[in-house]
Amino acid sequence: MTPVLEVRDLRKVFGDLVAVDGISFAVGEGEIYGFLGPNGAGKTTTISMICGLLKPTEGEVLVQGLSVADDPRAVKRRMGVVPQEVALYEELSARANLEFWGGIFDLRGKEMKDRVAELLDQVGLDERASEPVKNFSGGMKRRLNLAMGLVHDPQLILLDEPTVGIDPQARHKILEIVKQIVAKGRTVLYTTHYLEEAEDLCDRLAIIDNGCILAEGSVDELKAQLGEGSLLTVQGGFGAADLTTAASGVSGLQPVEIADGRGMLLVGRDGPGVSHALEGLFQAGLTFDDISIKEPNLEDLFLRLTGRELRD
Amino acid sequence: MWPLIRKDLLRRRARPASTLVMVAFPLFMSLALGSVIGGGGDGPEFPTISILVENRDEDGFLSRALVGALSSPQSEGYLEATIVGAEGRELMEMGKASALLIIPVGFTAAILDGTAAELRIVRNPSEGIKPEIVVQGAELVAAWLDQGSRLLGGELGQLRGMIEGGKIPPAARVGALAGAVTERMAAADGILFPPVVGIGSAKEATDEDDGRLSAKGIFGYVLLMTSVMALLFVAVRSVTDLFEEQNSGMLRRQFTSPQPVWRIMTAKFLFSLTLGLVVMTILAIFGLALGWLEVPEHPLAAILLGVTFNLAACSLVALIVGLSRNEKQAGILSWLIVMGMSAMGGSMVPLQQLPAGMRAVSDFTLNFWVIDGLTRVMFESAGLGEVGRNLAVLTVAGLVLAVAADALLVRRFREVGA
Ligand SMILES: Nc1ncnc2c1ncn2[C@@H]1O[C@H](COP(=O)(O)OP(=O)(O)OP(=O)(O)O)[C@@H](O)[C@H]1O
Ligand SMILES: [Mg+2]
């Protein structure tokens, strides 16, 4: 089956900055595909190329087999874009905004009325639908911003950080809506730099940085890249080399990320266990100020892939 | 296309201030000028008023401009201004004038500094209505100067620095100043510089039989002149809305829809045209209801002139916006062009009273073609045939400019997506 969205070797160069550096992936029907990456990773640039706002320097984008470059209007009909920056007519009501957007997608009459009413209800704005958007809170604007992209019931929805800068309650609401859309068989590309969102929402995701996909797969697959086991994090007055040497002498202990005074090590599930590992490190003469043990998450994977935290 | 036009009309309705100002401006001007010139009596003639002007602020450029405006040939016929020295009061007491206008020492400086500036008027007690007219006229000037100085504030001081410095100021400074002034104008959301030059100068000379227009005609004529200017500003406001949409991200958002860029641009153009026609209709209805205008013998000619003028106005503004590199430049350019065309095309000073030098270039303004045509249709019962040339010029200008403008707008805004 043709994927709903297929991106091949996409590249975008601005002057001497390579914003997107050869990205390829495919998303199937009913799937939420996540784009997880820090500020400046190239998420928005990729979305802009997918929706035809930006011309790729190289590569191509296919939506249900149609090329964005060759057939932009047909592709745009199948696609709903929710921009990272809220874009609404502040002086118009929520309903008028949605009706305008429906109108330019050729929705008319009763079909339009029903669709707009349904969406207002879905995003929980039906009671304030007639008020000018300028009276809305940030979270309400975000919800309307999302609804705008859904008016024409597109097959593919591109969401660029739809929850940035809002409170947990509003965020929860937006995530709920996204889940509802996908339950109806729609396909979503979801960019975020919130790890929990990506873990909670996405069927598959790509971790991107500096315009490249560093790792791709389901949340479990990605975690498995760290290895099976528990993650042991230690802090203290040791040097990186001491810890590396000490760890190599302990069976079932693998370094993940080691620096002076700080180390992250994977304690293999099939090995002798955490207490054994710690004992081994103590015996090597190391002392720690802080020790923690947890299940590995995507943050740890990101740290391992880039040597940096996801959020700065 | 309709949803695109509709949303702009709805947005205007939700924020009507700027449109209302544009409707109010010509009405206010007509009322103010009409009552100064034509009010007071219902006689068909302007009284000729003699005034004496004593300029004690001889070095100030504003006072010199004021004296110049008063004694310019355009006001000849109904206003005779004589420049006098200290002997002014004596002359008036001898019955040589209706009033004496004294421009005090430091008048220009006071206005530039934004401190109180006072024009003094001494009436001739032996005359009734005429000195009153002078007082009203002077009050109007004062109000305008006051508004101008308040609107411009600090920039006026800079302007003075440039003018009094005697040196040619660097272009960048003039540019920056023009930018600041335009910004303030924009912030005032449509408050215009009133046509100071035109004060009290609306005299109708086309009516060859008696050479004077009735008081009623004056209101209608001023309404027509100033409405044309207001409609140009309506076009500027509507077309430059593209920048507002660019800034709010809505333009970019629209580019993610299947609507091609040219259609989005054309819709903005049609919206501007529609709004212009709405404002024009409202003004016409006011004019008729107030009795300032009468339904002409050939209404179709009037309507066609109005429509083709609006078309040409929107096209011209769209062209300017399409050629500008940024919002600021578009604002300055369109403001300059609209003001220039209005000054030279008969929106500030009646065409017949324009100095010859300005009249020579009137033909290159849209204002001239519509005002000339409408004056003849409204006041001289001209029909389609007699204003055919006006209609042709406006239509051709409108269509040619529209095609060029649309292409430029597409080129100008296409990159917004990136
Ligand atoms: N129009 C442009 N011209 C030049 N550089 C650009 C342009 N757009 C983006 N960039 C650069 O490309 C890189 C990727 O930017 P992009 O907006 O795609 O990042 P992002 O992942 O969406 O980040 P954020 O989380 O902050 O939204 C950045 O370094 C950015 O400065
Ligand atoms: Mg972004």
Task: Give me the half-sphere count of Cα atoms (radius 13 Å) on the Cβ side of residue A3.
Answer: 17
Average the pLDDT over B37-44 and give the result.
Answer: 42
CATH of domain B49-198: 3.40.1710
- Report the length, in residues, of chain A: 312
- List the beta strands (DSSP E) in B13-128: 49-55, 79-84, 99-103, 120-123
Whether A244 and A188 share a structural domain:
no
Average the pLDDT over A3-20 and give the result.
Answer: 92
Domain-terminating residue out of A223, A251, A277: A223
The Å distance, Cα A172 to ligand 1 centre, comes to 27
| Atom number of ligand 1 nearest to Cα A84 | 27
What is the predicted pLDDT for the residue at B110? 73
pLDDT higher than 50, residue B209: no
Q: Among A65-79, B207-221, B369-383, name the one with the lowest average pLDDT.
A: B207-221
Whether A105 and A236 share a structural domain:
no
The Å distance, Cα A12 to ligand 2 centre, comes to 14
Shortest Cα–Cα distance, A82 to chain B (Å): 8
Question: What CA–CA distance (Å, rounded) separates A90 from A106?
Answer: 23
- Report the length, in residues, of chain B: 418
Domain residue ranges of chain B, discontinuous segments joined by + = 2-40+213-417, 49-198
Average the pLDDT over B47-51 and give the result.
Answer: 67
Q: Confirm whether A310 is domain-assigned.
A: no
The residue type of B205 is: A
What is the predicted pLDDT for the residue at B254? 94
Whether A256 and A121 share a structural domain:
no
pLDDT higher than 80, residue A286: yes
pLDDT higher than 50, residue B136: yes
What is the predicted pLDDT for the residue at B143? 54
pLDDT higher than 50, residue A243: yes
Q: Do B248 and A92 make contact, defined as CB atoms within 8 angstroms? A: no
Question: What CA–CA distance (Å, rounded) separates B317 from B311?
Answer: 10
Higher pLDDT among residues B151 and B332, named by residue: B332
Confidence of residue B394 (pLDDT cuts 50, 70, 90): very high
Confidence of residue B191 (pLDDT cuts 50, 70, 90): very low
Whether A210 and A260 share a structural domain:
no
Average the pLDDT over B57-72 and give the result.
Answer: 74
Domain around A42: 5-223
CA B413 to chain centre: 29
Q: Confirm whether A151 is domain-assigned.
A: yes
CATH assignment at residue A187: 3.40.50.300
Higher pLDDT among residues B118 and B8, named by residue: B8
Number of domains in chain A: 2
DSSP codes of every residue in A69-126? TT-HHHHHHTEEEE-SS----TTSBHHHHHHHHHHHTT--HHHHHHHHHHHHHHTT-G
Mutate to test the pocket of ligand 1, among A12, A35, A44, A53 (most ligand atoms within 8 A of CB): A44
The Å distance, Cα B278 to ligand 2 centre, comes to 42
Shortest Cα–Cα distance, B9 to chain A (Å): 11
pLDDT higher than 80, residue A165: yes
Residues in the 5 Å CB sphere of ion ligand 2: A 43-44, 84
Burial track A172-181 (b if 16+ CB lie within 10 A, e otherwise): ebbbebbeeb
Q: Confirm whether A272 is domain-assigned.
A: yes
Ligand 1 lining (C-beta closer than 6 Å): A 14, 17, 19, 37, 39-45, 84, 193; B 418
pLDDT higher than 70, residue B298: yes
Q: Among A72-76, B101-105, B107-111, B245-249, name the one with the lowest average pLDDT.
A: B107-111
| Atom number of ligand 1 nearest to Cα A42 | 18
Distances A286 to A233, A249, A264, A290 between C-alpha atoms, Å: 14, 13, 14, 12
Confidence of residue B104 (pLDDT cuts 50, 70, 90): confident
Whether A38 and A150 share a structural domain:
yes
Q: Confirm whether A171 is domain-assigned.
A: yes
Whether A121 and A239 share a structural domain:
no
Percent of chain A with pLDDT over 70: 99
Read off the pLDDT of residues A188-230 as tens digits, 9 standing for 90 and up.
999 998 888 888 889 999 999 999 999 899 988 888 877 777 8
C-alpha dihedral sign at A55, A59, A63, A66 = positive
What is the predicted pLDDT for the residue at B360? 79
Whether A154 and A278 share a structural domain:
no
- How many CB atoms are located within 10 Å of the residue B169 CB? 15
CATH assignment at residue A241: 3.30.70.100
What is the predicted pLDDT for the residue at B129? 56
What is the predicted pLDDT for the residue at B39? 44
Question: What CA–CA distance (Å, rounded) separates B312 from B404?
Answer: 12
Higher pLDDT among residues B86 and B308, named by residue: B308
Phi (first) and psi of residue B124, to 5 degrees = -85, 110
Higher pLDDT among residues B13 and A254, named by residue: B13
pLDDT higher than 90, residue B272: yes
Q: Confirm whether A157 is domain-assigned.
A: yes
Torsion of CA B354, B358, B362, B366, to 10 degrees: -90
Confidence of residue B41 (pLDDT cuts 50, 70, 90): very low
Of B250, B252, B258, the CB nearest to A53: B252
Most confident of B28-32, B85-89, B226-230: B226-230
Higher pLDDT among residues B289 and B200, named by residue: B289
Higher pLDDT among residues B159 and A30, named by residue: A30
Angle of helix A109-122 relative to helix A138-148, nearest 10 degrees, comes to 140
Angle, CA of A235, A240 and A241, to the nearest 5°: 140
Read off the pLDDT of residues B402-418 as tens digits, 9 standing for 90 and up.
999 989 999 888 876 55
Read off the pLDDT of residues A102-158 as tens digits, 9 standing for 90 and up.
999 999 989 999 999 999 999 999 999 999 999 998 889 999 999 999 999 999 999
Of B248, B259, B418, the CB nearest to A104: B259
Domain-terminating residue out of A184, A207, A223: A223
| Atom number of ligand 1 nearest to Cα A46 | 18
Read off the pLDDT of residues B1-25 as tens digits, 9 standing for 90 and up.
899 999 999 999 988 887 888 888 8
Read off the pLDDT of residues B77-87 as tens digits, 9 standing for 90 and up.
556 778 888 88
Selected residue of B7, B263, B413 to mutate for chain A interface (largest A Cβ count, 10 A): B7
Phi (first) and psi of residue B6, to 5 degrees = -60, -45
Read off the pLDDT of residues B329-367 as tens digits, 9 standing for 90 and up.
888 888 888 888 888 888 877 777 667 777 778 889 999
What is the predicted pLDDT for the residue at A284? 83
Whether A280 and A146 share a structural domain:
no
The residue among A180, A223, A186 whose CA lies nearest residue A205 is A223
Burial track B319-356 (b if 16+ CB lie within 10 A, e otherwise): bbbbbbeebbbbbbbbbebbbebbbbbbbbbbbebbee
What is the predicted pLDDT for the residue at A247? 83
Q: Confirm whether A286 is domain-assigned.
A: yes
Mean pLDDT of all residues belonging to chain B: 76
pLDDT higher than 80, residue A275: yes
- The answer to whether the beta carbons of residues B315 and B398 sit under 8 Å apart is yes
The residue among A31, A4, A38 whose CA lies nearest residue A218 is A31
Q: Do A87 and B248 make contact, defined as CB atoms within 8 angstroms? A: yes
Q: Confirm whether A300 is domain-assigned.
A: no
Instruction: Find the chain B residues whose C-beta atoms sit closer than 8 A to any C-beta of A.
Output: 2-4, 6-7, 10-11, 14-15, 248-250, 252-260, 417-418
Average the pLDDT over A91-98 and give the result.
Answer: 95
Q: Which helix (H) or strand (E) holds A264?
A: strand A262-268
Domain-terminating residue out of A223, A253, A271: A223
Q: Confirm whether A309 is domain-assigned.
A: no
Confidence of residue B266 (pLDDT cuts 50, 70, 90): very high
Chain B hits for A77, CB-CB cut-off 8 Å, are: 258
Mean pLDDT of all residues belonging to chain A: 89
